[in-house]
Amino acid sequence: MKKINIEGMSCMHCVMHVKNALNEVKGVSKVDVDLKGKFATVEGENIIEDDLRQAIEDAGYEVVSIEEA
């Protein structure tokens, strides 16, 4: 599992936007987004961190860090 710290989310619409973007990344099987904590967790196999970062940035948000959770 990976934890992605994200800046720029301010509402539930943002949460859904990030969740939908991450669900499109190859290898991702589960996504949870925590608005208050400003992070998302993703589960899956053979996930490429650069793909996660790109999906979030393309959705209009900033990736602060990605770490193993």
Tell me, yes or no, if the pTM score tops 0.85.
yes
The predicted model gives 1-27 an average pLDDT of: 97
Domains and CATH numbers, the chain: 2-68 (3.30.70.100)
The DSSP-derived string for the chain is -EEEEEE---SHHHHHHHHHHHHTSTTEEEEEEETTTTEEEEEESS--HHHHHHHHHHTT-EEEEEEE-
pLDDT band at 69 (very low <50, low <70, confident <90, very high): confident
Per-residue pLDDT reduced to its tens digit, 20-64: 999 999 999 999 999 999 999 999 999 999 999 999 999 999 999
Digit-coded pLDDT (tens) for 37-49:
999 999 999 999 9
In this prediction, residue 17 carries a pLDDT of: 97
